[in-house]
Chain A
Amino acid sequence: MLERFSTGASTYAGSIDHLIFLVAALVGFWLIVAEVSLFWLMYRYRHREGHSSQYVTGEEKHLTRWVTIPHFMVIFCDIVIIVPAILVWVNVKQTMPPAEQTVRIFSQQWAWSFQQPGADGILDTADDIRTVGELHVKVNTTYHFELMSRDVLHSFSVPMFRLKQDAVPGRTITGWFQATRPGNYDIQCTQMCGIGHGLMAARIIVETPEQHSAWIRRASNPALAAGVSLPADTDGSKLAEVRP
């Protein structure tokens, strides 16, 4: 259902979409039942001359079932929603499939910067690639991310991945994603972070393995990568000044 509005581009996008569809179907049913009975009763029992209203206390057995039966059905529907909701949650937020790549995400007022391994595939080595405003990832690869903030709360959100996680200063929050579809997608900040909140855009670029290794080659070579990546020793506060 959500596909109509926003294409899913990660492995768990489908399960979140299905959950949303399930919730929509169940609550849609109840919404229609309730609205239809409301409007029908309004029409059926409108004031007419010669008809007076009945005296019903609402404690009669044969009438209370019209409230108690829906009551139990609602409990049932709740359980039907709770179980898959928790399953999806556990899958997305609690369990982590083994990492094939790890990337570190820094948020600050008002930019996203990323640190990922260079050609050696290991984080925290000299050839790490640091980028601002652009995260290059390989398609069909499980990425773990370590999310950090340098100043205030931010929220790392990639709508197409159905991924969203707040960044809290002082904390490292880990998560994962696996992109399924090459292309360029929005990274939003969805937590109010000051006057530049609306400017805090970035792109996540999902590449095929060939494109990705080509990018790593280019990015590892500062001469080729002017403007795309920065030397590894640049600290975050200077990164902010690069972007307008």
Chain B
Amino acid sequence: MSSDPEAHIHHPNYVKIWVVLVVLLIVSVLGPLTGIRWLMLVMAFGIAFVKAYLVAKNFMHVNLEKRWVTYLLVTCLVFLGILFAGVAPDVMKHQGLRWENYAAKKAVESGSQASAKHE
């Protein structure tokens, strides 16, 4: 068990990584305070990816694992991307060539109206 080669490799300072993660979390929570929607979204999701990367790299030691483990995980994400690309034209859009999702449009409309009344 201790014959894992990486057991002898110098490990990052985990506490330092954790501090970075927590700071990032605070930044992403503060995002909405800017009041700029796109900036908030970019911040929130950009930071999520950075955090995921940090955890995967430093806590899960993906970088020390055999290279193909990374490939396996990336392949999973690529396939999910394919799924998204194949489904989005039908589900994410409410109108396309020769079809119209009137039910979804109505839901969006009535939902927005309700909120207008609410405010």
Contact = CB atoms under 8 A, between A and B. Distances in A.
A172 interface: yes
Contact of A94 (B97, B100, B101): B97
B67 interface: no
A174 B100 CA distance: 9
B71 interface: no
A79 B40 CA distance: 47
B68 interface: no
B38 interface: no
B101 A174 contact: no
A170 B99 contact: no
Interface in B27-70: none
Interface in A148-169: 169
- Residue of B97, B99, B101, B104 with most chain A CB atoms under a 10 A cut-off: B99
A171 interface: yes
A191 to B, nearest CB: 16
B79 interface: no
B103 interface: yes
Contact of A96 (B98, B101, B103, B104): B98
Nearest to B101: A171
Contact of A174 (B98, B102, B103, B104): B98
Interface in A80-104: 93-94, 96
A205 to B, nearest CB: 25
B100 A171 contact: yes
Interface residues of B, number: 8
B104 A173 contact: no
A93 B99 CA distance: 11
A154 to B, nearest CB: 15
Contacts of A170: 101-104
B103 A173 contact: no
A103 to B, nearest CB: 15
B102 A93 contact: no
A96 B104 CA distance: 25
B89 to A, nearest CB: 13
B98 A171 contact: no
A175 interface: yes
A175 B98 contact: yes
14 contacts: A93-B98, A94-B98, A96-B98, A170-B101, A170-B102, A170-B103, A170-B104, A171-B101, A172-B99, A172-B102, A173-B98, A174-B98, A174-B99, A175-B98
Given A94-B97, A175-B98, 10 more contacts: A93-B98, A96-B98, A170-B102, A170-B103, A171-B99, A171-B101, A171-B102, A171-B103, A172-B99, A173-B98
Top 8 nearest A-B pairs (CB, nearest first) are A170-B103, A173-B99, A174-B98, A172-B100, A171-B101, A171-B99, A172-B102, A170-B101
